[in-house]
Amino acid sequence: MSADSAASANADPQQGSDQGNGQGNGQGNGQGNGFGTFLGVFTPTILTILGVIMYLRVGWVVGNAGVLGTIAVVLLANAITLVTALSLSTLSTNMRVGAGGAYWLISRCMGLEIGGALGIPLYLSQALSLTLYSFGLAESMRILWPDAPVQLLAGIFVILVVLVAARSTRFALRLQLPILGLIVLSLASLFLGVDWSTVHAQPLGPWVDGGFWTVFAVFFPAVTGVLAGVGLSGDLKDPGRSIPRGVIAAVLVGLLVYLVVPLALARVADPLTLRSDPLIWTKAAWLGVLVLPGLWGAIFSSAVGSILTAPRTLQALASDGLLPASLSRTDPISNEPVLALRISGGLALLAVALGNLNVVAAVVTMFFLTTYGMLNLAAGLEDLVKDTSFRPRIRTPWWVSMLGAFGCFVAMWAINPTAFVAAVTIEAMIWWYLSRRAMKGAWGDVRAGVWYALARFVMLRLRTSAYDPRHWRPHILVFTADLARSLPAVRLANRFSQGHGIVTVNTMLVGDLDDLTQAERLAARNQELLRSHDLLVFCEVTAVPDLASGIVTITQAHGFGGLESNMVLLGWPPDQAGLARLLGITRRLARLDKSTMILRPGPGGPLAGDGDIVVWWKGKESNGDLMLLLAHLLTLSEGWRRTKIRLCSIVDTQPLADELHSSQVRMLEETRIAAQVHVYVRNPGQTINALMVDASSDASLVFLGLPLPQQGEEDAIAKRMLEHLNGLPSAILVRNGGPFRGRLV
């Protein structure tokens, strides 16, 4: 099976019935290892938040920003994180969450293309985070071992962490409980060792190593751990309850800690010492020996969190057909994605060879932040478009989520503009590639809701806006009995619309719809036919009592909100009686202010822009306005761009010819339509048809005005029109029933 087909057919068994259309009430059915809120979400999230930044950089932040400046940095960073946690809660309580964490949520809300564009870089970021944390752990060893071989130790730590994760997810998570205890002990030791009666740091500033945004950029990675627990969504007993409870609790606890720690460090040393000594904790703590185990445990737990979530993101990507299906398999005994774990560990180990990962680290942070931003955006859009299936237990107002998304993107730019541009470029390239593969998923994402909301808004605005003929666009309703034979007419209508109007093809069935089989089969065939010929038009099949009344009724009822069909394109009838019937229909359509085109194919086969377009302008019934505009629109389309327009008229005397020629030249200058003016003087005894054939024989297409017959005159006018058309190439008879009759726009 190809990757494309796997996208819709190869949903993994775990997601199966839980997934449905991507919506639900958030109640889990017991997934994976069945972890609860504390062990499965809160612990990995809080350990990622209370990490290396807290131990090695908060003192530097206080030394630069002062107490009040640090509080401002902490509050702003945590506000972004808290909003992201609320958005996560909204999404996770609105659907049954499967394996894949953030990728799963985004792909089910925004579609596979956007989900993949973020999920693939997110996976790489999670895998490379193991390398980054291993380097941090190795470098911290120099505190006790100054000449420690950092690169070698980093490789050893990568292997060690992978072995811990490979033993079992439950073992790896339970290992984080004593680490959490070490961090609590280190915090207690700091608070006990501080003299709370004195303050050495300044209230604000002095901003020696950078301004507010520089300090913010250094601190912000400390609070980017909200996805650590979400990444284990497939292993949670009830992700709809555990994710919001665990993530929000971890964010609030982290906020409390990051508000208290700066207050403690401000009482430890002066700003210069805080900026220059990253290990100030060890000197200020009641028992300095308790700080290093907490530091190492924090880094190690972050590394474990990365290697637990990365394989599950890879597994979810494979389950959706974005990567080979073999990566989605789990071990039948341990239920672990063993192959995905080995690949993730190998990738992290390979990255150790790069040595210096500063640039990679910046891009990794950008990938995480774009994921946070898109989670906020997805939650905001879900609330904004108000899909009927959007019923989360925790609802975040759309404007709050949108502010969170905006904050994420601002933070990305503040941290590293170059890495921001690089990350967004990579994600845009992946999105473009997946869009060309036309990925499809068996669930409803928010994009359709967005288009519905926008369409409703636009139609309401169109309904109430002041209309002017200059705003006219061709919304063409093409009637056909056999679409396969009418494809040239549909293609011509599409060229008139220029991608700005709406073309609808309607196939009428005479009878009723008691038996829907024929209509459904015909609609499916027509849709496939249009798709195979790359025609972007709407398609309908309608049952009518008879063709004449059906055309008028469908045209009258078609469209609403300023997007009603304003033109009808009809095929050529088999005889004069058929043309007379079409003239009667044209009269009825004119009363509805609908324009009519009747296409008569010429003997040369399909329409092509090999010759000129000839517009025969008579001027009495203002059909020339629409004919000239349609000719101009046709010359803007592919295959007709080099075609010239000839505006032709017939008069009986030379003075009339000179006068008409001058007036038409002025008209073309005013309307900015490029056309050549030809006014022919008919010789005595020369028929109109003979003159038209002489002037139009080399044309690709001829436009003729369609007179509006009174009732009972249809046969006579049909006969006259057939005489005019005799010997002409392909022609379109046009009746202008639009708003600019007599006023060319």
**Strand pairing class (731-735; 595-600):** antiparallel
The domain limits of the chain are 30-447, 470-571, 602-745
pLDDT in tens, 38-92: 888 898 889 888 887 888 889 999 999 999 999 999 999 999 999 999 998 888 8
Amino acid, res. 168: S
Highest mean pLDDT of the ranges 185-199, 251-265, 412-426, 446-460: 251-265
**pLDDT confidence of residue 742:** 58
| DSSP codes joined into one string, 643-677 | PPEEEEEEESSHHHHHHHHHHHHHHHHHHT---EE
**pLDDT confidence of residue 745:** 52
Alpha carbon distance 652, 655 (integer Å): 9
The two structure tokens encoding residue 196: 């709370």
Say which CATH superfamily domain 602-745 falls into: HUPs (3.40.50.620)
**CA atoms 165, 170, 174, 179: torsion sign:** positive
Q: Which of 551, 550, 540, 543 is nearest to 511 (CA)?
A: 543
Q: How crowded is residue 5: how many other Cβ atoms within 10 Å of its Cβ?
A: 11
Are 470-571 and 602-745 equal in CATH topology?
Answer: yes
Q: Nearest-5° angle of CA 354, CA 359, CA 360?
A: 60
Helices (H) and strands (E) in the chain, counts: 29, 10
Helix (H, G, I), strand (E, B) or coil at 620: coil
CA 64 to chain centre: 41
The mean pLDDT value of the chain amounts to 82
Q: Which pLDDT band holds residue 2 (cuts at 50, 70, 90)?
A: very low
pLDDT at 22 over 60: no
Helix (H) or strand (E) holding 569: strand 567-570
pLDDT in tens, 706-715: 888 888 888 9
Alpha carbon distance 541, 524 (integer Å): 10
Which range (269-273, 276-280, 582-586) has the least confidence? 276-280
Say which CATH superfamily domain 470-571 falls into: HUPs (3.40.50.620)
**pLDDT confidence of residue 323:** 81
**pLDDT confidence of residue 15:** 37
Which range (101-105, 549-553, 621-625, 739-743) has the least confidence? 739-743
Residue 358, CA distances (Å) to 136, 276, 437 in order: 11, 20, 34
pLDDT at 227 over 90: no
**pLDDT confidence of residue 8:** 34
> How much is the average pLDDT of 458-466?
64
Q: What single DSSP character describes residue 441?
A: -
Q: Which pLDDT band holds residue 387 (cuts at 50, 70, 90)?
A: low
> How much is the average pLDDT of 287-310?
84
Q: Which residue would you say has higher pLDDT here, 16 or 545?
A: 545
Judge contact between 243 and 63, C-beta under 8 A. no
- In CATH, which of 3.40.50.620, 1.20.1740.10, 1.10.472.50, 2.115.10.20 is domain 30-447? 1.20.1740.10
> How much is the average pLDDT of 95-118?
79
